[in-house]
Amino acid sequence: MCISCGRALCKEQTKKMPAILTIYVGEANMPKAVVVSEVLYQGVCKPQPEPIEMPELYQGGYAMSKIVSVHSFRGGTGKSNTTANLAALLAAKGHRVGVVDTDIASPGIHVLFGLTEDQMAHSLNDYLWGKCEIQETAHDVTANLGLRGEGKVYLVPASIRAGEIARVLREGYDVGLLNDGFHDLIQALHLDVLMIDTHPGLNEETLLSIAISDVLLIVLRPDQQDYQGTGVTVEVARRLDVPNMLLIVNKVPAAFAPAEVKARVERAYNAEVAGVLPHSEEMMVLASAGVFVTRFPDHPITAMLQEIAQRLGA
Ligand SMILES: Nc1ncnc2c1ncn2[C@@H]1O[C@H](COP(=O)(O)OP(=O)(O)OP(=O)(O)O)[C@@H](O)[C@H]1O
Ligand SMILES: [Mg+2]
């Protein structure tokens, strides 16, 4: 049988050639191919000399991931800091990054990007109440990160006004509109990646963000309560068929051996740990007054976050 066209071969027609049977993404995002040196083909059809690029077939990982959700079951694990840092690193590589604060009940990531309340022309709340288009809520915070290249970070903040938070909690909103908003934002701003910072725990918008993500980053501390909660999130993500799920263990005390923590967490959830980040005095002192990787470019945590950013396809 001809490897190229599937026709039956007789001996006279038979030719031999090397062929790539399959291409896949292996460890550390390295594309690998299974190659056979002498396959039979009938010698009439002309196989392409080079494999044809089909980037649209890659789901997350190797190609740039479109939607990255950052979640944790419990609060205060470091979701907003992780989101802001990864966004800054991706933008530093030249990517156009959107960041949406879906933590409507207790927004905060705008602080890291230095966006003040009076600079928020529109918030996510305005979009959800039909007052404006989603792209009108996006604030270009690239300059606040000191980035000068091609890359951009656009932040969609959630309102910090008490009355507006109370209203959204009281009245709720159409979660379908949030889904449309994510996709409209990607299109309108030509985003390479959209990062979603979430409220801890599971509710309608966190479930949506998990369900639509190409990559789900779950942040946890080495803490028994976090371990139990992470089990819940991992199970939900599996049921929702999230294509890529990576765990980040954050705020790890110096007394713990990172390799052991990684192995234990990977065993417990049967999921990959993309980084074990130490508890950092510098991060505490920065106290969300800026984005860590731009302030401490040579810090070991920056190198670890850089590796995670690479896993997202940058
Ligand atoms: N590796 C770390 N070492 C020390 N402090 C950290 C580290 N990561 C985050 N923090 C600190 O922990 C606090 C909470 O971080 P952050 O706001 O990012 O968490 P969060 O998961 O978004 O919280 P919430 O659930 O309330 O939204 C901040 O003060 C931040 O500076
Ligand atoms: Mg947060």
**Coil, strand, or helix at residue 15?**
strand
Return the structure tokens found at 302: 């920056």
pLDDT < 70 positions in the chain: 24-30, 47, 51-65, 314
226 lines ligand 1 (CB under 6 A): no
Both 86 and 232 in one domain: the answer is yes
Residue 83 within any structural domain of the chain: yes
195 in a structural domain:
yes
**What's the pLDDT score for residue 25?**
67
Question: Does 159 lie in the same domain as 36?
Answer: no
Domain count, the chain: 2
Q: Are the beta carbons of 131 and 124 closer than 8 angstroms?
A: no
Instruction: Identify whether residues 146 and 21 lie together within a single domain.
Output: no
Phi and psi of 257, rounded to 5°?
A: -80, 120
Structure tokens at 311: 């896993």
Residue appearing with tokens 């976090």:
226
Q: Are residues 170 and 263 in the same domain?
A: yes
Report the nearest atom of ligand 1 relative to the CA of 84.
Answer: 18
Q: Which domain holds residue 37?
A: 15-52
- Helical residues (DSSP H) of the chain, grouped into ranges: 79-92, 109-112, 124-128, 162-171, 175-188, 204-212, 224-239, 258-269, 281-286, 292-295, 300-311
Q: Are residues 42 and 77 both part of a single domain?
A: no
What's the pLDDT at 59?
Answer: 47
Decide if 10 is inside a domain.
no
Both 103 and 25 in a single domain?
no
pLDDT given for residue 181 in this prediction? 95
User: CA 86 from chain center: how many Å?
Assistant: 8
β 152-156/96-101 pair status: parallel
Say yes or no: 173 and 281 in one domain.
yes
| pLDDT at 30 (0 to 100) | 67
Residues 116, 215 within the same domain: yes
d(CA 266, CA 258): 12
Query: Which pLDDT does position 38 carry in this prediction?
Result: 78
Rounded CA separation 77/220 (Å):
6
Ligand 1 in reach of 253 Cβ (< 6 A) = no
The answer to the question of residue 40 being in a domain is: yes
* Whether residues 233 and 274 fall in one domain: yes
DSSP secondary structure of 121-175: SS-HHHHHTTSS-GGGG-EE-TGGGT--SS-EEEEEPPP--HHHHHHHHHH---H
DSSP character at residue 5: T
Question: Can you give the C-alpha Rg of the chain in angstroms?
Answer: 23
Q: Is the CB of 280 under 6 A from ligand 1?
A: yes
| Same domain for 87 and 40 | no
Residues in the chain: 314
CATH of the domain at 91: 3.40.50.300
198: in domain: yes
The finding on whether 285 has its CB within 6 A of some atom of ligand 1 is no
Q: Are 82 and 29 part of one and the same domain?
A: no
Residue of 111, 284, 302 best suited for mutating to test ligand 1, as the one with most atoms within 8 Å of CB: 284
In a domain, residue 1? The reply is: no
Residues 209 and 168 in one domain: yes
Distance, CA 250 to ligand 1 centroid (Å)? Answer: 9
Angstrom distance (rounded) from CA 252 to CA 241 = 29
